[in-house]
Structure 1
Amino acid sequence: MVQQGVFGTALPQIASHEGSGTVVAVGGAEAEKRGFKVGDRVMVGIPLHPCGSCHDCLGPETQTQYCTNLEGHVGVMTDGCFAEYVKADCRSTTPLPNEVSFLSAAPLACAGRTVWRAVLLAGLKKGEWLCIVGSGGGLGHLGLQFAKSLGLQIIGVDARDEGLALTKENGADVVVDARKGKEEAVKEVQSVTNGMGADATITLSDHPTAAGLACAVTKMHGTMVQIAQPDEVTIPFQEIIFRDIRIRGSLICSQEESSGMLKQIAEHGVTAKTVPFHGLDKVFELVDMVHGGKIQGKAVIIVDEQQIEDEKKLGAKF
């Protein structure tokens, strides 16, 4: 979307809005107040310099990431993480537990934060059914693990062989191939949910029919959380009017929610599946792989090999 001009980004600009690394400098009293110091391992915050005075900044903590009066978002409107050094805002940057590795934390900065909040917004209790449409991608495989760690039963829906394989690998209780069509998908979901449908659904696929499918497999009066960002989200009116499907949108995580996500990972062993590329000169290879649609999980650039070696001494295992 940056390349296509969706955000009005002034180019050239350093890419990538997801990153993790070690603090090399701390600026300002706010960072010191929050306890950041040189040497800390962190997951980069995406919002840069929110205003601190608007309705969202002053409202519930879980709305702070919605501030529109900010300098920009790292890697979207300001220089990003395909670099040796990145400037991030302490108010949205999160310290890493020793258990969580840099390789996992980098994609967690956006993909992890985004799907974690989607699972929270689904509002389900242990044992209830969550369906994830687009379960076999970078966000999907994390969402499956998050949901599993919270004790939910999971239905994964995907339309690619690679995605279906990753869905199974990450613990979905039921796997549905969307290529069979909406009617068959609804039938398969209802067959394991006593004819009701999933208690809530998260849409991660930007396919034109994905949102409609997600609503169709959700029980009446259930919630569909829309995360994918196609140009238009198309949902048949019957799902909203006749079946009372409630639709929510969501944007990354607040600081408090981010800390909760990392705590959950450290305790339950959620792991981001990554395809590492070594060195910034591999950026174009990475982009080609991602755009090719064959990748499982998230592609990651390792900028500083020494940091990866150093964290092994801390016991980083996820």
Structure 2
Amino acid sequence: MSYTIPKVQRAAVVAQTGQGVQVKEDFPVKQPEDLKPGECLIRLHCTGVCHTDLHAALGDWPVPPKVPLVGGHEGVGEVVAIGKGTVDSPVKLGDRVGIKWIAYSCLTCEQCRKGLEQNCSSVKLSGYTTDGTFQQYVQSWVNVVTPIPEGISSEAAASVLCAGVTVYRALKYSRTLPNDWVVLPGAGGGLGHLAVQYAKTMGLRVIAIDGGEEKRKLCVEKLGADAWIDFTQTKDIVAEVKRITGGPGANAAVVTTASPSGYTQAVDYLREGGTLMAVGLPAKAELNASIFFTVFKSITICGSYVGNRQDAVEAVNIAASGKVQVYYASKPLQELEGVYDDLGKGKIAGRIVLTM
């Protein structure tokens, strides 16, 4: 099997943070002969768009991205080249694979050995510290890409590779048991609508929090959330969570919203022994929680940052089995700037997937 690799391609490039995205038709493609052992080249079918990509374009996180930058970290495509000298590659030419936020980790340091590959000291981040998936061809690493099984479309798998993996891992480590109550602020968004479904596969009872009728229909009527709270209509979210749960509050909260209020409220509506899984990343907000009640109620606050290779395989396989459905709209790569605008205004329900 052989492929003809072009010299140039279409790519969405941020020349300087905060200056917008330019779609170029002459961005260079890394050639097969330039790949190092262990590297591979992926011809992308599609890529998801994540709120993290917007932060990368704006450069508003404490750790700045590289520039110029090709963003994106939810790509699915076909392996079209593998670096000469690669030994025992887990993928071969023609395989369909996914590219995640964690583009590379060494797999040998202490954090990698403990399953915290996302905290590897040598980590490379797709679409942040290394060019990502808003291009037709992307260089990656054979030991880090995720095999995509049959039973799931490339478009759906793209969103699972970041949004799905992130919420799946958070729920996995939330110390919940079947029939426990979990609150999901931002439930109608890209991460949240997948969190609703993964929570239901784990046997949890879901309280979805978001705003607007479109997101209510998505969370309750399509995804099966057990209860709904519209934050634009409800004056006291803490009291409403306690009412729904019969008084004591929820067992866990997975906060996917970028609003700092989502974190502050969670400590108040969690029951004794509850767990707050912090997932959403506001650019500059701080977590303001009552230390007294955090201690007095034995609350656990845990930061959950994407997931490792095993989390990704599990999340994709669950989705491929039909238990998790990704609600997305497809747009061409050229419309990325408009997608960013809608993301910033909170207008998107589900996910946006860009076609190449």
Pick the TM interval, shorter chain: 0.7 to 0.9
Q: Residues 233-252 of structure 1 correspond to what in structure 2 (within 5 A)? A: 233-252=287-306
**Matches of 2:292 and 2:215 in 1, distance apart?**
29
- Cα deviation code 1:171-222 (max 9, x no counterpart): 110011223556x323332233231211111111122211011222211111
* 1:163 and 2:218 aligned: no
How much has 1:130 moved relative to structure 2?
1.3
* Corresponding position of 2:25: none
What residue in structure 1 maps to residue 88 of structure 2?
Answer: 33
Structure 1 equivalent of residue 119 of structure 2: 66
2:228 to 160, 166, 175: 175
Aligned to 1:307: none
> What pairs up with 1:171-210 in 2 under 5 angstroms?
171-180=224-233, 184-210=236-262
| CA apart distance, 1:152 | 1.2
Q: Which of the numbers 349, 353, 356 marks the counterpart of 1:296?
A: 349
Match of 2:188 in 1: 136
For the aligned residues, what is the CA RMSD?
Answer: 2.0
Count of matched residue pairs:
297
Instruction: Determine if the alignment matches structure 1 residue 83 to structure 2 residue 135.
Output: yes
Mean Cα deviation higher: 282-291 or 252-261: 282-291
After TM superposition, the structure 1 stretch with the greater mean CA deviation from structure 2, 188-197 or 143-152, is 188-197
For the residues of structure 1 that align with 2:326 and 2:183, how far apart are their CA atoms? 20
Pick the aligned partner of 2:99 from 18, 32, 44.
Answer: 44
**Alpha-carbon distance in 2 for matches of 1:235, 1:180:** 24
- Whichever residue aligns with residue 11 of structure 1, its letter is V
1:29 Cα deviation after fit: 6.2
Pick aligned residue for 1:104 from 133, 152, 156: 156
What residue is the counterpart of 1:9 in the other structure?
A: 65
Q: Which runs of 4+ in 1 moved over 6 A?
A: none
Q: Secondary structure at the match of 1:33?
A: coil
Mapped contact 2:57–2:71 kept (Cα < 8 A): no
Q: Cα deviations across residues 11-59 of structure 1 (Å, max 9, x unaligned)?
A: 22111122111111123666x625201111112133233233321022x
Are residue 270 (structure 1) and residue 270 (structure 2) matched? no
**Structure 1 vs Structure 2: percent identity of aligned residues?**
31
Structure 1 equivalent of residue 38 of structure 2: none
> How far apart, CA to CA, are the structure 1 residues paired with 2:85 and 2:206?
44
1:53 matches 2:108 = yes
CA change 1:275–1:188 in 2 (3 A) is same
Distance 1:240 1:181, change over 3 A: farther
Give the structure 1 partner of residue 173 of structure 2. Answer: 121
SS at match of 1:9: coil
Checking the alignment, whether the CA contact within 8 Å between 1:45 and 1:89 is kept in structure 2 is no
State the TM-score, normalizing by the size of structure 2: 0.78
What SS does the aligned partner of 2:172 have?
A: helix
Cα offsets for 1:140-165 (capped at 9, x unmatched): 00000111112211111113444333
Q: Does 1:286 align with 2:339?
A: yes
CA contact (8 A) 1:45 1:91 kept: no
Structure-1-length-normalised TM-score: 0.87
Residue 123 of structure 1 deviates from its aligned partner by 2.4
What is the distance in 2 between the residues matched to 1:97 and 1:44? 14
Measured at CA, do residues 69 and 178 of structure 1 come closer, stay the same or move farther in structure 2, by a change above 3 Å?
same
Q: Say whether 1:260 aligns with 2:314.
A: yes
Structure 1, unaligned stretches of length 5 or more?
A: 304-318
The structure that is strand-richer by fraction is: 2
Given that 2:161 and 2:316 are in contact with CA atoms closer than 8 Å, whether structure 1 keeps it comes out as: no
User: Does the 8 Å CA contact 1:133/1:214 hold for their aligned counterparts?
Assistant: no
Structure 2 CA distance, aligned partners of 1:142 and 1:132? 10
For the 8 Å contact 1:74–1:88, the answer to whether it is kept is no
Q: Distance in 1 between matches of 2:297 and 2:275?
A: 11
Q: Gapped runs of 5+ residues in structure 2? A: 1-54
- Give the partner amino acid of 1:237: I
- Matched AA of 2:142: C
